[in-house]
């Protein structure tokens, strides 16, 4: 089940970032040892009453931009409508709502998404005198909060998570492999999707307010069901708006969150750019299976070593993702495009592969014999056993005598051993170290 997404929208200065930072607090997940990945604070993993969700700050509107504020607000709201399960529409309690707010409210209403109207900066017990006017926006009861004083957060979070059961009706059909095609504008995402779906296939138009399921594209190939995730953002081709880098990254992010397999597209003539590194980092941290797809291969003059050289340079740039297969394709000529499916199936299987505890411990015992666990001040790391606690991605729990002794380098050694024996092609693996007295 993919995590629900909650997006905050609202005019500049209403307090979105303050709210975001307060809710996220320290819980912004920072995954160690992913070199080259700087995680901007666009999103945070939040836990409330055993509900986990991803909170997104869609901020980034320049307050000084006068004329363009409205169009940016609309784009911001559209991103939220396309990607979020619940939208928090935030107003500043010091002011009455503006015509711009009204327009956004109307957009949100039409989307049929759950929207929570939040009035921020209600710092004391007194309600602003115009508080009841907010009802006129037609999106239900306004919830007063103070982000600065952290007031009423509990009630608000209760309301937000209350929508999840309703919105998570998106049944996780185990039979379907969910594929996200991720990459910068012009890398060839639509071309490759159209190639796969068949050039002549009529693609349903995006009508504002259609549900998220409707913007996913289901299809079947060779007896296997697939769904392309969030291709609306790709098809809409709002090139101008997508230039706002943050939005294209946000779209990518939420698509990654919901997929099983991520096709990370690279332009052959460019190689690994900073944006690719960022996106690949997200996919890795989110524990998704990945395939690196080098598109526009037709544009490169090749000698016999091209593939190997190219692949090596990608491996160097994306060192934390050595597990991902690299495919060289051309969406233009169709070269090897359909071979992608074999790989998608492979990595999807690997992503949900389970290894029995018995087999796992045979392998781990041998690894321990070959390379003794580290010791510190006369105490040696003792490994009792390992068990697989989950899939998507494969997750292992390692029971040890002392957690501090389980250095990263040794864990990596064990993980490499797992890969040597069980491959796990295309998927990250996670190891959790637990102490057992």
Sites of contact with ligand GDP (CB under 6 A): 10, 12-18, 59, 120-121, 123, 146-148, 183, 185-191, 234, 295-296, 298-299, 330-332
Q: Do 328 and 297 meet the contact criterion of CB atoms below 8 Å apart?
A: yes
Q: Minimum distance between the CB of residue 62 and ligand GDP, rounded to whole angstroms?
A: 10
Of the two residues 59 and 114, which places its CB atom closer to ligand GDP in the complex? 59
Of the two residues 18 and 224, which places its CB atom closer to ligand GDP in the complex? 18
Of the two residues 186 and 313, which places its CB atom closer to ligand GDP in the complex? 186
Helix (H, G, I), strand (E, B) or coil at 26: helix
Of the two residues 121 and 284, which places its CB atom closer to ligand GDP in the complex? 121
Q: Minimum distance between the CB of residue 190 and ligand GDP, rounded to whole angstroms?
A: 3
Of the two residues 332 and 391, which places its CB atom closer to ligand GDP in the complex? 332
Instruction: For residue 428, give the nearest of 396, 398, 394 by alpha carbon.
Output: 394
* Residues pairing with 178 in the sheet: 227
Q: Is the dihedral of CA 224, 225, 230, 235 positive or negative?
A: positive
Q: Minimum distance between the CB of residue 72 and ligand GDP, rounded to whole angstroms?
A: 12
Q: Alpha-carbon distance 88 to 8, whole Å?
A: 5
| Strand-pair category, 430-435 with 261-267 | unpaired
Residues belonging to the binding site for GTP are 10-17, 57-61, 120-123, 183-190, 230-234, 295-298
What does the block give as tokens for 367? 């690894």
Q: Minimum distance between the CB of residue 1 and ligand GDP, rounded to whole angstroms?
A: 29
Question: Which residue matches tokens 């997006």?
Answer: 7
Alpha helices in 46-152 (DSSP H): 68-83, 99-111
Instruction: Give the neighbor-by-neighbor strand order of the sheet with 115-120.
Output: 43-48, 51-57, 5-10, 86-92, 115-120, 143-144
Question: Which residue matches tokens 């003059």?
Answer: 301
Of the two residues 59 and 373, which places its CB atom closer to ligand GDP in the complex? 59
Q: Minimum distance between the CB of residue 267 and ligand GDP, rounded to whole angstroms?
A: 8
Instruction: For residue 160, give the nearest of 177, 145, 172, 149 by alpha carbon.
Output: 145
What does the block give as tokens for 318? 């994306």
Q: Do 266 and 276 meet the contact criterion of CB atoms below 8 Å apart?
A: yes
Q: Minimum distance between the CB of residue 223 and ligand GDP, rounded to whole angstroms?
A: 27
Q: Do 299 and 269 meet the contact criterion of CB atoms below 8 Å apart?
A: yes
H or E element in which residue 6 lies: strand 5-10
Phi, psi of 335 (to 5 degrees): -55, 120
Burial per residue of 282-310, b for 16 or more beta-carbon CB atoms within 10 angstroms, e otherwise: bbbbbbbbbbbbbbbbeeeeeeeeeeeeb
Q: Minimum distance between the CB of residue 8 and ligand GDP, rounded to whole angstroms?
A: 8
Of the two residues 36 and 60, which places its CB atom closer to ligand GDP in the complex? 60
Residues belonging to the binding site are 10-17, 57-61, 120-123, 183-190, 230-234, 295-298
Q: Is the dihedral of CA 239, 245, 251, 252 positive or negative?
A: positive
Q: Minimum distance between the CB of residue 109 and ligand GDP, rounded to whole angstroms?
A: 21
Of the two residues 122 and 405, which places its CB atom closer to ligand GDP in the complex? 122
């Amino acid at each position: 089940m993919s995590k629900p997404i909650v997006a905050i929208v609202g005019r500049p200065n209403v307090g979105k970032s303050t709210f975001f930072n307060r809710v996220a607090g320290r819980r912004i997940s920072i995954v160690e040892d992913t070199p080259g990945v700087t995680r901007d604070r666009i999103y945070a993993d939040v836990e409330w009453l055993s509900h986990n969700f991803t909170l997104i700050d869609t901020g980034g509107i320049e307050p000084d931009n006068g004329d363009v504020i409205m169009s940016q607000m609309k784009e911001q709201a559209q991103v939220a409508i396309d990607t979020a399960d619940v939208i928090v529409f935030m107003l500043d309690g010091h002011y009455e709502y503006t015509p711009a707010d009204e327009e956004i409210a109307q957009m949100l209403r039409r989307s049929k998404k759950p929207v929570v109207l939040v009035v921020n900066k209600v710092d004391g017990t007194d309600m602003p005198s115009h508080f009841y006017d907010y009802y006129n926006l037609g999106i239900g009861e306004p919830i007063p909060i103070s982000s600065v004083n952290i007031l009423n957060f509990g009630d608000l979070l209760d309301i937000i998570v209350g929508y999840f059961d309703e919105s998570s009706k998106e049944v996780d059909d185990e039979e379907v492999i969910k594929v996200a095609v991720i990459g910068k504008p012009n890398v060839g995402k639509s071309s490759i999707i159209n190639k796969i779906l068949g050039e002549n296939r009529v693609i349903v138009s995006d009508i504002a307010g259609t549900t998220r399921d409707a913007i996913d594209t289901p299809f079947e190939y060779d007896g296997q069901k697939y769904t392309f995730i969030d291709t609306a953002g790709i098809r809409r081709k709002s090139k101008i708006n997508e230039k706002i880098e943050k939005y294209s990254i946000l779209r990518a992010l939420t698509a990654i969150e919901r997929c099983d397999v991520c096709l990370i597209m690279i332009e052959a003539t460019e190689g690994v750019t900073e944006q690719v590194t960022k996106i690949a980092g997200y996919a890795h941290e989110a524990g998704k299976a990945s395939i690196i797809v080098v598109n526009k291969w037709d544009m490169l003059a090749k000698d016999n070593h091209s593939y190997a050289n190219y692949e090596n340079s990608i491996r160097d740039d994306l060192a934390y993702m050595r597990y991902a297969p690299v495919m060289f394709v051309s969406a233009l000529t169709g070269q090897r495009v359909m071979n992608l499916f074999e790989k998608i199936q492979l990595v999807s299987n690997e992503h949900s592969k389970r290894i029995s505890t018995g087999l796992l411990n045979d392998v781990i015992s041998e690894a321990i014999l070959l390379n003794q666990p580290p010791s510190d001040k006369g105490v040696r790391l003792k490994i009792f056993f390992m068990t697989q606690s989950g899939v998507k991605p494969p997750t292992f729990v390692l029971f040890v005598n002392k957690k501090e002794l389980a250095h990263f380098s040794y864990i990596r050694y064990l993980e490499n051993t797992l890969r040597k024996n069980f491959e796990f092609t295309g998927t990250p693996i996670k190891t959790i170290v637990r102490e057992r007295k």
